[in-house]
Amino acid sequence: MTSERSRAQYLRRANVRFVLTLLPAVLCVILTSLGLWPWAAVVFCVTLVVIVVGTLVPRCSLFGPLVKRQLSGSKAPLLTIDDGPHPEHTPAILDILDRHGLKAIFCLIGDRAEQYPHLVHEIIRRGHEIANHTQTHPAASFWTLTPARMWDEIARCQETLTRIAPEHPPRWFRPPAGHHNAFCVLTARAIGLETLMWTARGFDGTLTNTDSIIRRIRRKLTPDGIVLIHEGTPVCVEVTEKVAQMLTGYAAERIPS
């Protein structure tokens, strides 16, 4: 569980970083007031590109270290499943994973875990791992959160999941949609979490053609890769079945008998 002292220490560091992110804006104002419009435009454009790329590109490590792959020497991709638990999908997905002998990391939303704590226990009972996916999953606005609100989202989820399963506290954090601003990784590390990304995804959160989703995942599949799929979509159970088949076959093809 996180302490007030940890939060205070984090906020001091995060607020310093926040002030530093405002310096380019101050510089633009100064340059403009001096009539140096071209230089102000350059500073503005460079700053905008850095912020957009660093925030919205999931695998960009500009704002802090990310776990993008498994350790070298891995023989099969790791499956991660976001946005649960779900009262219908989680049990069905667990059954699919059992049939194929696969283990996964379930990135859980705190509010949903509070609604379905028995599913959190069932995930763990079947040998899978749980991870922190924020308390409310503010996907559209997560990248805009201030240091205090960022802490609230991640720390509350950590407290929720640890309260439900005290013997299995999360060690990973997965930001909604992979968006991470200048405070995200800093916040996760202050709470004791590493930020977990992915190498292969099929955009199953928006697409509904399972063949297209699977093709996208297969193109990026590597032995040390991390696969991302979601619960709560119209095709999530079908996608899980096809991904499970693919991962089982992938391992069988590459692990010598």
Summarize pLDDT for 32-74 with one digit per residue, the tens.
999 998 999 999 999 889 888 888 888 899 999 999 999 777 8
Identify whether 152 is a catalytic site residue. Answer: no
Distance between CA 178 and CA 245 in Å, rounded? 26
Quickly state the pLDDT bin for 1 (edges 50, 70, 90). low
**Cβ proximity of 1 and 162 under 8 Å:** yes
CA distance 87 to 134: 19
Catalytic residue among 128, 179, 180, 230: 230
| Residue 15 confidence (pLDDT) above 90 | no
Integer Cα distance of 197 and 213 in angstroms: 18
Confidence band, pLDDT 50/70/90 cuts, at residue 255:
very low
Distances (CA, A) of 203 to 62, 128, 207, 239: 23, 23, 6, 11
**Residue 172 · residue 193 · CB < 8 Å:** yes
How large is the average pLDDT for residues 240-252?
A: 87
Reply yes or no on whether 82 is catalytic. Answer: yes
Q: Give pLDDT, residue 253.
A: 55
* Unique residue bearing structure tokens 């220490």: 9
Query: What is 1-257's CATH number?
Result: 3.20.20.370
103-132 pLDDT, tens per residue?
999 999 999 999 999 999 999 999 999 999
pLDDT score at 244? 97
Q: Taking the CB of residue 73, how many other CB atoms lie within 10 A of it?
A: 7
Point out the catalytic residue in the list 82, 83, 89, 179. 82
Q: Which of 243, 191, 241 is nearest to 216 (CA)?
A: 243
CA dihedral 133, 138, 144, 145 (to 10 degrees): -70
Single pTM value for the model: 0.90
